[in-house]
Structure formats: structure tokens, C-alpha cells
A = this chain, B = another copy of it.
Amino acid sequence: MPKDSKSDKPAKRANAISPTRAENYAEWYQQVVSEADLAENSPVRGCMVIKPWGYGIWENIQHSLDRMFKDTGHQNAYFPLFIPLSFFEKEAQHVEGFAKECAVVTHRRLEAKPGGGLQPAAELEEPLIVRPTSETIIGVSFAKWIRSYRDLPVLINQWANVVRWEMRTRLFLRTTEFLWQEGHTAHASAEEAREETMRMLDVYEKFAHEYMAIPVIKGEKCSWERFPGAVNTYSIEAMMQDRRALQAGTSHFLGQNFARASDIRFQTREGGEDYAWTTSWGVSTRLIGALIMSHSDDDGLVLPPRLAPRHVVILPIYRNDADRARVLEYCRVLMAELRDKRYADGPVEVALDDRDIRGGEKAWHHLKRGVPIRLEVGPRDIDAGMVSMGRRDRPALARESVPHAEFVGRVGEILAEMQRGLFDRALAFRNANTREIVDRASFDEWFGSTGDERQLHGGFALSPFVDDPGIVEALAALKVSVRCLPLAQERRPGACLFTGKPTDRWAIFAKAY
């Protein structure tokens, strides 16, 4: 067994990730994903493999959101992967919105091909669409389940995979297959359905703020950014470190559009008959992309502690066999002490990395994966009753010597402080890069190229807005889109920068993912 495991300082390189964010943001992102072992491309065009460390983050996202959904009265269920074409066609705008990106199953077996190999056989009478979203297939069940106002509301959520054929894909941000949850609810009145739509938008905001440590702006989408078939679409919008916007979750008020398409009728309290009012809302594995781009630095992934699969990793330091036995024994006791502690909703998750590799390599391994706290423990630390703590929210080489007992007592507090710190940093960044802009020249300058790659995207612009599809082209020329009309806004008078029309509604404009 190699005995050279020792207290190497992390190697004296400038950064663990190359290129840095400033050098090439898109490539930096790919490298962070790769170095943190989060995901990789698969041989299936546009589909990714989510590796254990990335999937561990998704499990934490699922676990936390699932509890919030259940606390607001929702139940999980599961509906078919396939949607017969005839059902999919029922809502005209809906099918138009998704027709260009549908994976279609046309055959149900394989047979030998003349000359060798296999080919599809037994063509289906009706093609099946691999669900890009499930409104139309869930509508069939809702139509069966709902007879009377007494059956309402129906509050359902589904954790599932969906497929939207994407030509240009990026790990987590845009993939042909992705994992998500989709909430689907039916109500007896428009008002109740609208309340549900906003309730779930609030749940998403709370989750983004308290778990993801990402500040988001809640708002309504403009008409041309609506979910196909929806009456209103609301979203939470976050700012990434390249100052682009990322839509992190959506909640749709569907009116009676899908109820009409799926024939979801009910007997009203007054004895009449009406179509139900429905909503849908979802977030996906895209959230992991948002996490990465909100917090990570030029040394790799940075994770908010509440979503980190592991909170603390213990790195034993020793130079010989006698030390080794003593240090490992000490580390095991420390691990047991920490596991008894709680942070947020569960125990502190601790691992001991006793692999026989160089200490520097080991520290960088966990640093790049975003483990919030690294604890180095060697013979001298033991003698002094100290642990050497490296925090992922501090510079990579910085370490702090903390009395053993104090660290064990305060570990939950330190993690909570890191969680708050990440949110505060992201909020300060967003505020510093958001500007109220009321004239076109300043708008163009804000979003124009300065020749410096880092200055390409101005950030968020808050500007007067008129919902006129005539402005789409001018925005497209600037590669800017309307992110949302923030719900929290005063109705101040202004004039649309593109049409000059007067308005008292303002929107967030940004370049976006």
C-alpha cells in the first residue's frame, strides 16, 4: 500500500477549472459538470447520463419539493409515458407548440432485416407520442374521476421523464430527455385555479430561495412566451453568473382550455354543469444547471448545503503506519459525533475519505465536487484537539483551525451560515446587474457587445412593456427576450421602448438560457 498519503497543500495552480468563467463561460460550465462528476453525454443524441453525484443532488431536490407538494395537499400518481396521437391533437395550440419536437413510436417489435441486422416491424395503427408533458393524457383520467363539485379539487403531481427533441443540447440546461415533476390540478372555479397557480409559484420561489439559495423574480410571461394552450403562464427567473436569465420553474393557469379538450365536466354546487378549471406547473433537472451557474467558481462546483449529498468530508493526514492507525481511529470517532448532529431537515451527512492517494489530490477531488466542508485531521491536530477546516465558500487554499468540540457543536450553524451566504452573494450579484432602463439607446447599449466577452450581457433590464408581438423581431435582433412581468411592481407610467406606446406595466428583459 502506498504510504505517501500526506498533508499536501492543494497544488499551487491558479484554479482547478480551466478555462475560467471570464475566459470562456460556456466551456467553464462543461468543465465544472465534468470535474464534479455530475453528468455526461450519452450515445443517444441529446440524452444525458446523470452520474451518482449529480443524481444525489436531484434526489435532494425531489425530497424537499415532494414534501412541500404534500404539505400543500397534493398526492403523487403516475400516468403513461405514451400519448396516442389523437389525444395529443385535441388541444390545437398545445399540439402546435410541441409538434416540432416529438419523439414518435411507430412500431412495436424488431425483425430480421434481409442482409443481417434488425429493423422495426409491426407498425402501430396509431402512432404514440413520447410525452413532452402530460396534460392531454392526464385529462383522460381527470374526465373519469371528476363527476361533481364534491370531487374537486383534484391535486396531483407526477415525477417522470419527458422527451422534447432538441437540436442543440447542453447537459442539464437543455436535453432531449429530462427528469421533472409536473403538477396537474382541477378546480370548481377560475378563482380557485388561479389561487392554486399562484400557490405553486410561491412554493417554487420558496424552494429557490431557501434550498437552492438562488434569488428569483416571480412574474407573468408575455403572450408569446406562454405554455402552448395556457391562459396565463407564470415563472420564476434567476440570474446566472454570466448575467443571463434562466427560467427555473413555471406555473400555468389553463382556464377551461384543456378541460374542454379532454371533456372534464362536473356537476356544479348549484346543480348545473361546467368544465373544470385546470392548472399545471413544473420544474426539472434544469434546476441543477441553475445551481451550478449561480454558485460555482473557477475551482468547480459550489453547493448550497441544503442540497448537498454530503456536508462534511474528513480527510485523514498521516505519514506512517503508526500515525495511520491512530488518525483513522480518531477520524471514525469524529465521524460518529458529526452524524449525531442535525442540519436543516436531517442528519449531517459525513464521509471519511481514507483512500490511499495524495492528500492534495484528495482535497481537490472534494473541492471540485462542492462538498461544503473539508476537515483535515493529522497527528498534530489530534494532539492540539483541533481540526483544520476548509470551507467551500472561502478561497480554495484557506483553512481555519477550529477546536474539535467547537466544530462538532457548531457544524449545523456553520452550514446554515454558508447557505445564507450563498443566497446573499447571489442576490447582491443580481442587484448589481439589474438596471431600470426607459430609453432605447440605453437598452441597446446595456445589451450590446463591448468587445469584451465578459461584458456581452448587460444583465436584467426593467423597462416599460406593452404586450405586442410586433416587438419580437427587434428583441430577437438584440438576442434579448422578455423574461417576465414581475408580480411585485408598482404600476408606474412609462412608454414601450420599441413601439412608444404608453403603459404602466414593466417587464424584465434579458439574454437567456
Contact = CB atoms under 8 A, between A and B. Distances in A.
Interface stretch (A99-107, A189-197, A391-399, A420-428): A99-107
Interface in A99-119: 99-111, 117-119
Interface in A137-163: 137, 140-141, 144, 156, 160-161, 163
Interface in A40-80: 40, 42-44, 47-52, 55-56, 58-59, 75-80
Given A78-B179, A117-B89, A140 B109 contact: no
A77 B102 contact: no
A77 B51 contact: yes
Contact of A156 (B48, B52, B56, B75): B52
Nearest to A155: B52
Contact of A140 (B42, B78, B161): B42
A403 interface: no
A143 to B, nearest CB: 11
B81 A59 contact: no
A157 B110 CA distance: 28
A55 B81 CA distance: 16
A63 to B, nearest CB: 10
Nearest to A120: B104
A163 B81 CA distance: 9
Contacts of A119: 127
A307 interface: no
A49 B79 contact: yes
A99 B122 CA distance: 11
A95 interface: yes
Contact of A101 (B109, B129, B165): B109
A343 to B, nearest CB: 19
A85 interface: yes
A84 interface: yes
A130 interface: yes
A105 B78 CA distance: 22
Interface in A220-252: none
A429 interface: no
Nearest to A179: B78
Contacts of A82: 44, 47, 103, 177
A371 interface: no
A109 B165 contact: yes
Given A118-B99, A127-B120, A137-B42, A165 B77 contact: no
Given A43-B84, A49-B78, A118 B144 contact: no
A75 B81 CA distance: 25
A285 to B, nearest CB: 9
A508 interface: no
Nearest to A177: B81
A76 B110 CA distance: 31
A87 interface: yes
For A43, A104, A118, the residue with the greatest tally of chain B CB atoms inside 10 Å of its CB is A104
A100 B104 contact: no
A144 B97 CA distance: 37
A83 interface: yes
Contacts of A102: 107-110
Contact of A55 (B43, B76, B83, B128): B76
Q: Which of A42, A87, A110, A117 counts the most B-chain CB atoms under 10 A from its CB? A: A110
A47 B84 contact: no
A56 B75 contact: yes
A55 B78 CA distance: 7
A475 B165 CA distance: 48
B120 A44 contact: no
A476 to B, nearest CB: 22
A80 B111 contact: no
21 contacts: A42-B141, A43-B87, A43-B137, A44-B82, A50-B77, A50-B78, A52-B76, A56-B76, A81-B161, A81-B163, A82-B177, A85-B118, A99-B111, A102-B107, A102-B110, A103-B107, A105-B106, A106-B120, A110-B129, A130-B130, A161-B161
Given A43-B140, A49-B77, A119-B127, 5 more contacts: A50-B77, A52-B156, A56-B75, A56-B76, A108-B165
